[in-house]
Structure formats: structure tokens, C-alpha cells
């Protein structure tokens, strides 16, 4: 019973910290979410505005990939996928972290989060355009939803932290405060990066275990 009480106390405290952090930075989070959704819209528009030739290429690539999985001619290299995804996530997290420390960083921060949204929007739109709504949603959910439930909030939080850091660099030039803010930004970014690593592991886990079965049985 005592262990349960301690667990729930820690859980409640953790949720309070998150709630307080979001409420203190609500405007920055609204900006981050808006830019992320703009990226998604751009990604969807890129697919919709593609030429017929490009659409055929996208459709052909996705259909060939699915057919190769169904016929067992192609097996997913989980380790290679994990490493590639991990490097991609760490690169983007690193770019956002560094951008917060520079005077010209804010456009890079915005572009980074918009780029992430664009990639997601493009991928989902291309899949649905190829497979139709029902199968497209099943495919997208199995390949993208689980890890992005964790990854997207981590990216948004990284962006907000970088925006706060940028404001400290450009507005508050007190050296002591700046050092403290750099430490805060670095520690916070490290925790978010751990979240991204966990999301990458989930992607690896679900892709290697259930991805093929979902394609064979539902797509």
C-alpha cells in the first residue's frame, strides 16, 4: 500500500510539473502546434498538387513495397530502420537545441518543426491516396501513430525550450541568468531526447513484430 501511495504521489507530482510547464508556456506551445500543423498541411498539399507522373511513382512505390511484404520477398531490417530513425531524430533534436543558443536560431527552429509536420503530412496523405481511407488509416496507424504519440510532444517541447532559450540570448543578456538558462535548456532537451529515443525503440519494436502481419491481414 505504501509503495502504491508513493507511486501515485510521484505520478501526481510529475503531472503537476507538466501542467505547470504547459500553462507557463501556453503561448509558445500554441505557436509550436500551429507551425507543426502548417507543416502537415504543406505535406498534404505537396501530394495533392503533385503531377500525375509523380503520383504514379508514389503509388507504384507503396504498392510494390506492400506486395513484396505480402509475398515475403522483402523482410524489414529492424536494426537498420532503428539506426536510421534514431539518427534522424537525434539530428533534428540537436538542430533545435543548437538553434536556441544562437541569435539567428528562431527561423531554424520554426523550419525544423514545420519540416517534421510536413514529413508526417506527406507520408499519411500519400498512403491514403494510394490505399484509400480505410486501408490507408490502418497502414498509417500501424507504421506511424504509436511512436509519434510520444515523438511529436517531445519535438513541440524541444521547440518551446529553444524559443525560451532564444529569448534569453536576445533579450536577457545577464551572464549568470544566461548560464542558468543554458543549463535548463540543455537538461530539458536531454529529457526530451530520451523520449525520442524511446519513441524510436517503439517504432523498431512494433515494426519488426506486427507491421508485416498488419499488411498481410488488413492492407
pLDDT tens digits, one per residue of 153-169: 999 999 999 888 888 77
What pLDDT is stored for residue 7 in this prediction?
47
pLDDT higher than threshold 80 for residue 197: yes
Position 33 scores a pLDDT of 92
Q: What b-and-e string marks burial along 129-150, b requiring 16 or more CB atoms within 10 Å of the CB?
A: bbbeeebbebbbebbbebbbeb
Cell numbers given for 41 = 498541411
- Answer for the pair 197, 129: CB distance below 8 angstroms, yes or no: no
What is the tens place of the pLDDT at every residue in 11-65? 566 567 677 777 888 888 999 999 999 999 999 898 888 777 777 777 777 777 7
157-195 in b/e burial notation, b at 16+ Cβ within 10 A?
Answer: bbbbbbbbbbebbeeeeeeeeeeebeeebeebbeebbeb
Among positive and negative, which fits the CA dihedral 127, 128, 134, 140?
Answer: positive
Q: Are 58 and 50 contacting, i.e. CB atoms less than 8 angstroms apart?
A: yes
Per-residue model confidence (pLDDT) at position 217: 61
| CA distances for 184 relative to 16, 91, 93, 214, angstroms | 18, 20, 15, 42
Number of C-beta neighbours around residue 207 at 10 A = 20
61-113 tens-digit pLDDT:
777 777 776 666 656 666 777 888 889 889 989 999 998 888 777 888 889 88
pTM of the entire predicted model: 0.81
Amino acid at each position: 500500500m505504501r509503495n502504491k501511495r508513493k507511486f501515485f504521489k510521484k505520478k501526481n507530482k510529475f503531472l503537476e510539473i507538466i501542467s505547470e510547464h504547459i500553462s507557463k508556456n501556453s503561448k509558445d506551445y500554441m505557436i509550436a502546434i500551429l507551425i507543426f500543423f502548417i507543416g502537415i498541411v504543406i505535406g498534404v498539399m505537396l501530394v495533392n498538387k503533385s503531377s500525375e507522373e509523380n503520383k504514379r511513382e508514389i503509388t507504384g512505390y507503396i504498392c510494390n513495397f506492400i506486395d513484396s511484404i505480402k509475398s515475403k520477398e522483402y523482410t524489414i531490417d529492424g536494426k537498420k530502420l532503428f539506426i536510421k530513425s534514431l539518427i534522424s531524430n537525434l539530428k533534428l533534436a540537436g538542430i533545435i537545441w543548437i538553434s536556441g543558443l544562437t541569435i539567428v536560431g528562431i527561423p531554424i527552429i520554426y523550419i525544423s518543426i514545420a519540416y517534421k509536420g510536413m514529413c508526417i503530412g506527406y507520408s499519411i496523405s500519400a498512403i491514403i491516396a494510394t490505399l484509400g481511407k480505410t486501408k490507408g488509416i490502418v497502414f498509417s496507424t500501424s507504421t506511424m501513430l504509436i511512436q509519434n504519440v510520444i515523438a511529436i510532444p517531445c519535438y513541440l517541447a524541444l521547440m518551446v525550450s529553444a524559443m525560451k532559450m532564444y529569448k534569453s540570448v536576445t533579450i536577457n543578456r545577464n551572464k549568470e541568468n544566461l548560464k542558468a538558462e543554458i543549463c535548463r535548456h540543455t537538461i530539458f532537451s536531454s529529457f526530451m531526447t530520451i523520449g525520442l529515443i524511446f519513441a524510436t525503440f517503439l517504432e523498431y519494436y512494433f515494426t519488426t513484430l506486427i507491421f508485416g502481419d498488419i499488411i498481410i491481414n488488413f492492407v
